[in-house]
Structure 1
Amino acid sequence: MDGPRHPARRGRRRLNRRSDRVLAGETLPRSRAHHYYVATELVKVFALLALDTDVLTT
């Protein structure tokens, strides 16, 4: 999981490069990466809630 090919690390590096460019004053087209990140976090939250509810009811 700590290897250089881990998808989350690759995504963070891409976002860091993009934010560095924006902070340097470059104008870039809008990115959908933030929307994908939020969507996956919401899926994670709902999955954890579902698992928690399942554990508590058994």
Structure 2
Amino acid sequence: MAATVHVTPLDDLIEHETDSDDPSCVCGPKTVPLEIGGLVAWAHVHPSLDGREFAEEA
């Protein structure tokens, strides 16, 4: 059995689509497998549209 989860940024420029097991959001989420206690979960990791993950930390 497989589970699906969505990882989304908070307070982004859009509301990310998380109602589906498919990665159908306009941001183009990356799908990665996770194994948790013998269960395989698919994580759809949504990038932010404001680009915050590209900001360098000082």
> Do these two structures clear the TM 0.5 threshold for a shared fold by scoring above it?
no
With CA pairs under 8 Å and 6+ residues apart, which has the higher RCO, 1 or 2? 2
TM-score (norm 1): 0.22
TM-score of the superposition, structure 2-length normalised?
Answer: 0.22
Q: Between Structure 1 and Structure 2, which shows a larger proportion of helix residues?
A: 1
Q: Which has the larger radius of gyration?
A: 1
